[in-house]
Amino acid sequence: MSEESLMIPNWAESVKYKRGWRTTIGGNLRGGEQRSSLFTWPRRSLLFSMLTLNAQESSLFKGNLYKNLYGVWGIPFWQDETELVVVAASGQKILDVGSTLYRNFEIGGMAMVGSRSLMETWKIDDLTETRITLHNDLSHTWPTGTSVYPLLQTRIAPTQTLKMLNSAIGQIDIEASEEFDGTITRKIGTAAGFDAYKGVPIFNIKPNWVGIDDGFDHPYNLLGFLGKTTPLSHYTETMFPLKYEYLAYKKSEIQKHIDFFDSRMGRLDGFWLPSWQEDIHLTEGFLASDDHLHIDSINYPLYWFGNEMGKSIITIWPDDTYVWNDIVAAPSDTRINLDDVVGRDCPKSSIKRLLVCFLLFCRFGQDEIEVEYLTPEVARMSLSFRTLLGERPS
């Protein structure tokens, strides 16, 4: 339990929440991978800037750093605030709150209730969507509207700098990494709610179009000695490293990104990813019963047909519904044949509203997702991906 001044983050600079896995990756000459996970649950951390607003707060915080810098700290998940909807009386263990959903509350973890000037923290014994049951009785009576946070038990770096902006007010940048506690079973997200193709989920969340980093990677060696060189590559085709930015505008949307990342355990498991680019431009409309498409010339038979990267496509309508297909033949430069019927009509007058792009089989290119909370409900994420060779589901 704690009854000290609560230091809140400076939301003008955002709060960053990290959730990390760890994967080892071995490769072969042809670009295939052998991956294994070193973590069975993700590690969490927080990064934020904090202000001390008067001389008393600055002195209290300096004392805390002086005395406890090497110890375990309890830091609220600032982005996960909820509020009491019923008065929580001294001597009771129940906190009735607005919502615990899409927040880092967990049985066995800690909850903090309080204000800037006073708070108390206790272990969580039970949890529902709107109720938190504490292990101990409350020491104070808290009115409706009082903030309630899940608490990260953490350690901070052994060297800290409090920048004094004047004689009384200070600012510090905190990076807090989770302290391991084997008594808590971590909540790990799944890909529930995502469609699947060939038994593997599709990461179908539309990116924020500030630009996509579209990479190309095809390692090769140059053979030669004092004369003409010859390239040698064991890779069967070029791989794509990709990077997208995402914006989410409510907590459920933010959690959807985090849960999918958890379901793949970072870089460990593969999934489908639309390129979200107009890889194929249609020249004719089609019927739901059609099993072929007429397209602009992009040298598809020469560049893409028979290769893993260009074998699957996804057709996305303006209402965000979509269908996916494999391309089984390219009888000409302007026609592709599909493995099944399209399943939905589209007249020629509407094809300009469609997005037809490659459906890539890939993995994440990172083991840690960083969620930059601009407010508790709005967040920005940058995610990298890498296409996989030899692992595409058949």
What residues does each domain of the chain span?
A: 11-178, 196-387
Q: Looking at per-residue confidence, does 225 or 168 come out higher? A: 168
79-101 pLDDT, tens digit per residue, is: 999 999 999 999 999 999 999 99
Model confidence, pTM: 0.91
Mean pLDDT, residues 130-157 taken together: 94
Question: Which pLDDT band, with edges at 50, 70 and 90, does 375 fall under?
Answer: very high
Question: Which pLDDT band, with edges at 50, 70 and 90, does 315 fall under?
Answer: very high
Mean pLDDT, residues 311-322 taken together: 94
Query: What does the mean pLDDT of the chain come to?
Result: 92
Mean pLDDT, residues 221-237 taken together: 80
How far is residue 144's CA from residue 115's CA, in Å, rounded to a whole number? 12
101-126 pLDDT, tens digit per residue, is: 999 999 999 999 987 778 899 999 99
18-77 pLDDT, tens digit per residue, is: 999 999 999 887 788 999 999 999 999 999 998 888 898 889 889 988 998 888 888 999
Mean pLDDT, residues 366-371 taken together: 98
Residue 11 pLDDT > 60: yes
Question: Which pLDDT band, with edges at 50, 70 and 90, does 183 fall under?
Answer: low
Query: Virtual CA dihedral for 196, 201, 207, 211, nearest 10 degrees?
Result: -110
The answer to whether the beta carbons of residues 17 and 261 sit under 8 Å apart is no
Residue 4 pLDDT > 60: no
Question: 148: Cβ–Cβ under 8 A, 6 or more apart, which residues?
Answer: 81, 82, 83, 84, 95, 97, 111, 112, 113, 132
- Six-digit token pair at 138? 């409350």
Residue 5 pLDDT > 50: no
- Nearest-5° Cα angle at 281, 278 to 272: 45
Alpha helical stretches, state H, 103-182: none
DSSP state of 60: H
3-state secondary structure of 320: coil
